[in-house]
Amino acid sequence: MRKEIIQKIKIPEGIEVEVDGSILKVKGPEGENSREFKTDKLIFEKKDDEIIIGHKKATKNEKKMINTITSHVQNMIDGVQKKFEYKLKICYNHFPFTVEIKGKEAIIKNFLGEKIPRKLKIPGDVDVNIDKDIIKVRSSNKELAGQAAANFETATRIRLRDRRVFQDGLFMIDKNGRQI
SS3 per residue for 76-122:
HHHHHHCCEEEEEEEECCCCCCEEEEECCEEEEECHHHCCCCEEEEC
With a cut of 80, say whether residue 1 has pLDDT above it: no
pTM for the model stands at 0.90
* pLDDT band, residue 41 (cuts 50/70/90): confident
SS3 17: strand
Mean pLDDT value across the chain: 94
DSSP lists the bridge partners of residue 17 as 26
Segment 20-32 shows an average pLDDT of 94
- The per-residue b/e assignment along 117-134, b for 16 or more CB within 10 angstroms, e otherwise, is ebebebeeebebeeeeee
Q: Which of 150, 135, 147, 128 is nearest to 89 (CA)?
A: 135
Q: Which domains does the chain show, CATH number per domain?
A: 3-81 (3.90.930.12), 84-179 (3.90.930.12)
